[in-house]
Amino acid sequence: QGSEPLFVCATSGTTVLGAFDPLGAIADICARHGLWLHVDAAWGGSALLSPQLRHLLAGIHRANSVTWNPHKLLMAGLQCSAFLLRDTSGLLQRCHGTGASYLFQRDKFYDVSLDMGDKSPQCGRRADGLKLWILWKAVGSQGLGWRVERAFAATRYLLEQVKRREGFQLVMEPEFLNLCFWFIPPSLRGQESSLEFWDKLGKVAPAIKERMIRRGSMMVGYQPHGSWVNFFRQIVTNPAVTRQDLDFFLDEIQELGWDL
């Protein structure tokens, strides 16, 4: 179209499927053409805290900027979001600072560069970094890494159970913590080749979720994705969740969807 790109946004941990872009290869292209590389690691960035999972973000050190949300996987208090910049020239203040004299007086007795409010269009936002600092001090790097690895272990266990149980079908093998699957009621099994199969299957997850909510047992997300009809997307981040809880989750889906 004759336009000149200046910015590339890679994703580490997509919202629905939990997919990771190949950051090293993307960084090579950005370096070759002088492009700003931003990595949206809001969901997957916490994998860096786990020695066994940090390979998913190989090459992230070459990014110009990174987004990370510790309130997601690490369960820091809502809201806790970080925007990290390689640039140290005061870029955020130059982009967003208004220098409003009624808020950010320049003749204060301390270093006015400490006024973080003039570096963000949100101005009055609470100090997200304090929540992360307190959590980090409380459990340490090893404790945060344990949270990530425990969540990953829960997904692996749930994956094994989904593969073992009749009527459950994976959307795809999970790359991270997002376990996406369909539950196929007995009335639809063996009808995959029929024209109406996928249309009917797309109504199953919403119906089961309604029954869950009316019963008061659980809430779980579902959504379509591209050409795929509605499927369940289960993500376990709470370290208090047990295998018995995960078994109950699948049992409940089977029970509530059996007669659909």
Is the same domain home to 147 and 105? no
- Same domain? For 125 and 145 the reply is no
8 Å CB contact between 79 and 132: no
CATH code (residue 30): 3.40.640.10
Co-location of 11 and 113 in the same domain: yes
pLDDT of residue 106: 83
* Whether residues 127 and 178 fall in one domain: no
The answer on pLDDT for 126 being more than 80 is no
Helical residues (DSSP H) of the chain, grouped into ranges: 23-33, 70-73, 91-96, 128-164, 197-201, 204-215, 243-257
**Backbone angles phi and psi of 20, in degrees to 5:** -120, 125
Contact 162, 7 (CB under 8 A): no
Query: Which of 100, 133, 166 represents a domain boundary (last residue)?
Result: 133
Residue 207 in this model has a pLDDT that exceeds 90:
yes
- Check which CATH number belongs to the domain holding 182 and give it: 3.90.1150.170
| Amino acid 9: pLDDT | 97
Does a structural domain hold residue 56?
yes
Q: For residue 74, is it within any domain?
A: yes
**Is residue 2 assigned to a domain?**
no
pLDDT of residue 192: 85
Q: What is the pTM of this model?
A: 0.88
One domain, residues 157 and 101? no
Domain end point (choices 133, 149, 175): 133
Residue 210 · residue 253 · CB < 8 Å? no
Residues 153 and 249 in one domain: yes
CA atoms of 222 and 204, how far apart (whole Å): 10
pLDDT for 79 equals: 87
Cα–Cα distance, 234 to 229 (Å, whole number): 16
Same-domain status, 164 and 91: no
**CB-based contact 17:178 (threshold 8 Å):** yes
Q: What is the mean pLDDT of residues 197-226?
A: 94
pLDDT of 128 higher than 90:
no
Asked if residue 1 belongs to a domain, the reply is no
Q: Is the pLDDT of residue 93 over 90?
A: no
Verify that 128 and 170 share a domain, yes or no: no
Q: How does 65-90 read in b/e, with b if 16+ C-beta sit within 10 Å?
A: bbbbbbbbbbbbeeebbbeeeeeeee
Query: Same domain, yes or no, for 157 and 61?
Result: no
Q: What pLDDT was estimated at residue 122?
A: 76
Please tell me whether residues 174 and 74 are part of one structural domain.
Answer: no
Would the pLDDT of 244 be above 80?
Answer: yes
Task: Give the residue from 116, 133, 150 where a domain finishes.
Answer: 133
Identify the band that residue 119 occupies on the pLDDT scale cut at 50, 70 and 90.
confident
How sure is the predictor about 171, in pLDDT bands with cuts at 50, 70 and 90? very high
pLDDT of the residue at 113: 78
Tokens of 250: 């699948």
Identify the pLDDT of residue 92.
Answer: 86
Q: How many domains does the chain have?
A: 2
* 19-27: average pLDDT: 97
Q: What is the mean pLDDT of the chain?
A: 92
Verify that 117 and 177 share a domain, yes or no: no
pLDDT band for position 135 (cuts 50, 70, 90)? very high
Q: Are 10 and 170 in contact (CB under 8 A)?
A: no
Whether 250 is in a domain gets the answer yes
User: In which band, very low, low, confident or very high, does the pLDDT at 127 lie, cut at 50, 70 and 90?
Assistant: confident
pLDDT score, position 118: 80
* Same domain? 119 vs 169: no
Residue 115's pLDDT is what?
76
Q: Tokens in use for 179? A: 């376990």
Q: What is the mean pLDDT of residues 101-118?
A: 82
Range of the domain at 49: 7-133
